[in-house]
Amino acid sequence: MKLQEIIDKLDLKILTNIEDKEVEGVFISDMLSDVMTSAKPDDLWLTVQTHTNTVSAVNLIDMAAMVVTQGKVVPQNTIELANRYHVVILSTPYTTFELATKLVGIGLKAT
């Protein structure tokens, strides 16, 4: 599914520069160690983490984008680093659980 379609259907806010991406699955975790062992390329990553090192994790795995849930504020330095390294960060006021239920609702199955 195209990232833009997900953004439009779930009213996600775009915090960085936007890129055309294909989303293949959804990965949820706030632990970067779990990202390294279990996240897959082209996953949409749901998390409440906003530290600059999330950018590092996204690019290592090549995830499609990062969605920060619960309306958490993403610091400017994280957004700047993301823009430098072509990482897309989105935001939603919904909780992680709620967003997960909405994502499956628009057709993103568990892989």
Residues making contact with another protein (CB under 8 A): 11, 21-22, 24-38, 40-42, 46, 48-49, 51-53, 55-57, 59-62, 64, 70-71, 81, 84-86, 92-98, 100-101, 103-104, 110
Instruction: Return the CA Rg of the chain.
Output: 12
Closest CA to 11 of 72, 89, 69, 92: 92
To the nearest whole angstrom, how small is the minimum distance from the Cβ of residue 98 to another protein?
A: 6
To the nearest whole angstrom, how small is the minimum distance from the Cβ of residue 17 to another protein?
A: 14
Beta bridge partners of 27: 45
To the nearest whole angstrom, how small is the minimum distance from the Cβ of residue 38 to another protein?
A: 6
Q: How many other C-beta atoms are found inside a 10 Å radius of the C-beta of residue 88?
A: 23
Nearer to another protein, 8 or 84 (CB): 84
To the nearest whole angstrom, how small is the minimum distance from the Cβ of residue 8 to another protein?
A: 15
CA distance 22 to 10: 16
In the DSSP assignment, the letter for residue 74 is: P
